[in-house]
Amino acid sequence: MLQELSIQNLAVISGAEIPLGTGLNVFTGETGAGKSILIHGIQAVLGQRVYKDIVRSGCKKASVTARFSPLGEETKKVLAEHGISCEDDEIFLTREISADGGSTGRLNGKAVPVALLRELGETLVNIHGQHDNQILLRAERHLEVLDHFGEDDTLLREYQSEFAALQKTARELGALRKTEEQKMLRLRELQAILTEIGELDPQPQEDVQLEEKYRAAVTAQATGEQADQICEMLTDGTENISDSLANACVRLHEMARSLPEVQTLAKRLEAVNIELRDIADELAAYGGGGLSPAEFQQLSDRRNQVNTLAVKYHTDADGLRELFEQSAKEVELIENSSDRLRMLTEEKQSRLHRVTELARKLSAHRKVLAAQFSARVGEELAYLDMPRVQLSVAFTQGKLTPTGMDHAEFLISANAGEPPKPIAQIASGGELSRMMLALKAVIAKRDAIPTLIFDEIDTGVSGRAAQKIGYKLRALGSHHQVLCVTHLSQLAVQAQHHLLIEKHSDEASTETMVTVLDEGGRIAEIARIMGGANPSALMLETAAEALKESQSERGLL
């Protein structure tokens, strides 16, 4: 709750330290004393919009600091989300407004975005005035109020759990579908790779081995051709050397008949011919010893195929084998993802059916709650002297959301026979505050926001109606800290804490001061509210009696 408010140089307030207590705190003072400035200060520290003219004339800046303790779970959750610890179970929020229009937010003395003050403020304080009844005026908050009214939120929590699971499945399914087209293109690429490499079936180091075999075959082919040519020159053909030498030997032997010394030459020539034939025979071993043309062509074709595919994929034979294995694994993953796609599609349909059924049950439950809620609020409004005002809840259904398929809006009928209309079109500021008081009275025990501020709640009421409002505010104070700006004594006497807002002026300046009243001060102020300035002794006695009576009703005496 709000323990203390410190204001410096805010409009007509030069400086004020305002302690606040549990239960009902009321602020009273003469018209124009600056009660609205107090509300503006609280709005500022809660991150609401401020203007530079709120800075006290002649000052460079204004500041408002609020100390909150103890802290509720929602506040602690926001702090945790921003990585802020709260070991002492209290925080200090500060808003500094410069005369040039800029502003700064601080949390426990450290600069923070004003947006964080606003986020924390939504968990700390509700301000209910002519322009601040957000819950009543914003239809999107009405369903939340209705759900708070229900004492058992099991169905809502079950729905939200199932809806969250549906969202998770839908997100995963959407991600898979988004990449499905790219996956199909990739699958075609992979299948082409598998076909090419699979048909080739490259073996380990095959490109190296093929190159070695090819080079050896080319060398063998060239050597064989040369050997064959030499053999042909030596032994083949019509005019081969060997036959010529044999003929020469014959003729030399014929010559030896007449010239015996030639016989030696004939024998030497025969020896040369024999050596020549040996050489030809040995050369023949080099000819025709390589691959056959068909075998060589097969080797060459295989070498070209392996090398072409290796160049295409910028690798070698071993790399082709590795690419084949990787591609096969990727194809399996893609095919499995398609199975996952089918599975998620089925899962989404199943979850959607479950969530839809829960949403229908939730809608039926809310309609029952709405009837009870309208009746309870109607009783509270009647008690607050608004008997002709009837509240109803209008439901429309749309798509599934984290809160169900329902859209709810509070409608009011100001008089019997009049059709119900949206609250913002009918209610005045004072009526809104009383309606909010009625609503808070109905959901007080389940409302997690610790501090409630009511401004203009007594507009247009007096007498018994004002007394009833005072009773309700006091009762609401048993569940919340309540701050109320009022000009009615019936409200002021019900407070546990009474603060007086006074304006003092001289020729140089005007200043507003906030004072915590003791019992004597309260009697004097209540008497002033009842009868105006300079109250009579009788009025003071009446004020004392009214205060005593309210304290007795609270069990304080």
Per residue in 242-267, pLDDT tens?
777 788 788 878 877 877 887 888 78
Residue 392 phi/psi, 5-degree rounding, is -135, 165
Is residue 106 included in any domain, yes or no?
Answer: no
Can you tell me the distance from the alpha carbon of 96 to that of 39, in angstroms, rounded to the nearest whole number? 16
Predicted confidence band at 427 (pLDDT cuts at 50, 70, 90)?
low
Is residue 302 included in any domain, yes or no?
Answer: yes
Is residue 31 included in any domain, yes or no?
Answer: no
- Write out the two tokens for 71: 């802290």
Amino acid 395: pLDDT: 95
Predicted confidence band at 557 (pLDDT cuts at 50, 70, 90)?
very low
Query: Range of 252's domain?
Result: 187-314
Mean pLDDT over 74-97 rounds to 91
Cα dihedral value 82, 85, 89, 91, nearest 10: -60
Can you tell me the distance from the alpha carbon of 437 to that of 448, in angstroms, rounded to the nearest whole number? 15
- Three-state DSSP class for residue 455: strand
Is residue 203 included in any domain, yes or no?
Answer: yes
Per residue in 317-340, pLDDT tens?
999 999 999 999 888 877 776 677
Residue 16 phi/psi, 5-degree rounding, is -155, 135
Contact call for residues 68 and 90 (beta carbons, < 8 A): yes
Amino acid 281: pLDDT: 76
Contact call for residues 411 and 420 (beta carbons, < 8 A): yes
Can you tell me the distance from the alpha carbon of 171 to that of 290, in angstroms, rounded to the nearest whole number? 67
Least confident residue range of 34-38, 134-138, 165-169, 540-544 = 134-138
Least confident residue range of 347-351, 355-359, 427-431 = 427-431
- DSSP assignment of 93-154 equals EEEEEETTS-EEEEETTEEE-HHHHHHHHHHHEEEESTTT-HHHH-GGGHHHHHHHH-S--H
Do strands 481-485 and 24-28 pair parallel, antiparallel, or not at all (unpaired)? Answer: parallel
Amino acid 555: pLDDT: 52
- Write out the two tokens for 379: 């009783």
Can you tell me the distance from the alpha carbon of 350 to that of 169, in angstroms, rounded to the nearest whole number? 11
535 CB burial (10 A radius; 0-12, 13-18, 19+):
buried
Can you tell me the distance from the alpha carbon of 154 to that of 361, in angstroms, rounded to the nearest whole number? 12
Contact call for residues 25 and 483 (beta carbons, < 8 A): yes
- Three-state DSSP class for residue 25: strand
Residue 556 has pLDDT above 50, yes or no: no
Cα dihedral value 52, 54, 55, 57, nearest 10: 110
Mean pLDDT over 531-550 rounds to 88
Residue 473 phi/psi, 5-degree rounding, is -65, -40
Amino acid 130: pLDDT: 47
Least confident residue range of 36-40, 238-242, 516-520 = 238-242
86 CB burial (10 A radius; 0-12, 13-18, 19+):
middle
273 CB burial (10 A radius; 0-12, 13-18, 19+):
middle
Q: What is the largest CA-CA distance in the chain?
A: 189
**Cβ-proximal residues to 163 (8 Å cutoff; 6+ apart), any chain:** 355, 400, 401, 402
Residue 315 has pLDDT above 50, yes or no: yes
Can you tell me the distance from the alpha carbon of 5 to that of 220, in angstroms, rounded to the nearest whole number? 105
Contact call for residues 498 and 26 (beta carbons, < 8 A): yes
Is residue 198 included in any domain, yes or no?
Answer: yes
- How many residues belong to the chain? 557
Domain count, the chain: 1
Amino acid 474: pLDDT: 92
422 CB burial (10 A radius; 0-12, 13-18, 19+):
middle
Is residue 474 included in any domain, yes or no?
Answer: no
Residue 375 has pLDDT above 50, yes or no: yes
Per residue in 120-176, pLDDT tens?
998 999 887 544 455 666 788 889 888 888 878 899 999 999 999 999 999 988 877
Residue 211 has pLDDT above 50, yes or no: yes
Predicted confidence band at 554 (pLDDT cuts at 50, 70, 90)?
low
Q: Which of 399, 331, 345 is nearest to 172 (CA)?
A: 345
Least confident residue range of 55-64, 258-267, 533-542 = 258-267
Mean pLDDT over 462-471 rounds to 86
Contact call for residues 310 and 320 (beta carbons, < 8 A): yes
Mean pLDDT over 512-520 rounds to 90
Residue 40 has pLDDT above 80, yes or no: yes
Can you tell me the distance from the alpha carbon of 19 to that of 231, in angstroms, rounded to the nearest whole number? 126
Can you tell me the distance from the alpha carbon of 136 to that of 437, in angstroms, rounded to the nearest whole number? 11
Contact call for residues 473 and 482 (beta carbons, < 8 A): yes
Is residue 52 included in any domain, yes or no?
Answer: no
Q: Which of 391, 350, 361 is nearest to 373 (CA)?
A: 391
Per residue in 263-311, pLDDT tens?
888 788 888 888 888 887 776 666 655 677 788 888 888 899 999 999 9
Contact call for residues 60 and 98 (beta carbons, < 8 A): yes
Can you tell me the distance from the alpha carbon of 362 to that of 163, in angstroms, rounded to the nearest whole number? 13
Sheet holding 421-422, edge to edge: 390-401, 404-413, 421-422
Is residue 177 included in any domain, yes or no?
Answer: no
